[in-house]
Amino acid sequence: MHSSTRAVACKPRAAGHRGRVTLAEKQQQLIDDYAIIPDIQERLGAIVDRARRTPPLVDAERIDANRVKGCISQAWVVAALVEGRCQFRTDADSPLVRGLLMLMCDLYNGATPAEVAATEPVLLEELELTKILSPTRLNGLHSVRAKIREFAAQVS
């Protein structure tokens, strides 16, 4: 489900504690959803295709404060705290980067700041995406994680 004012988030399949999926369960769900695609390149293609179907950020959100520093492509992460839960939206000038950023945002959307700070994105390794991404792309993803973590620390 998405709209131009709300981040894309995965719908939980299984109820966690008090009817809410934990971030660890959500990460495993994302891994399971993409791992059914056996070829790593096709898996990455599915991630990129999903991002193509999501509305881009508006120009007013593509500002320096939202820019991911350390990413060679131009990339932005817009963060908000809504009812105690983090919401992230993203965009990038590269379809590949946009897809990878959206995957990260899918993971952290709806989590509390404490969950965001405490949970590392192991899905990139589990889906074997780190095997086919350049060191430059991986460095950019570390910068995205740092920006997401920084936001969580600021609103804690």
When pLDDT is cut at 50, 70 and 90, the band that residue 18 belongs to is low
Residues 86-98, mean pLDDT to the nearest whole number: 96
Task: Determine the average pLDDT of the residues in 96-122.
Answer: 96
Task: List, for residues 53-89, the tens digit of each pLDDT value.
Answer: 999 999 999 999 999 998 889 999 999 999 999 999 9
What residue segments make up the domains of the chain, in order of their start? Answer: 19-155
- How does pLDDT run across 23-43, given as a tens digit for each residue? 999 999 999 999 999 999 999
CB-CB contact of 89 with 144 (8 Å): no
Residue 19 pLDDT class (50, 70, 90 cuts): low
Fold of 19-155: Sufe protein. Chain: A (3.90.1010)
Q: What pLDDT sits at residue 71?
A: 86
Model pTM greater than 0.75?
A: yes
Residue 74 near residue 138 (C-beta atoms within 8 A): no
Give long-range contacts, CB 8 A cutoff, 24+ apart: 6-14. Answer: 6/87, 6/89, 7/87, 7/88, 7/89, 7/105, 7/109, 8/54, 8/89, 8/102, 8/105, 8/106, 8/109, 9/87, 9/106, 9/109, 9/110, 10/106, 10/109
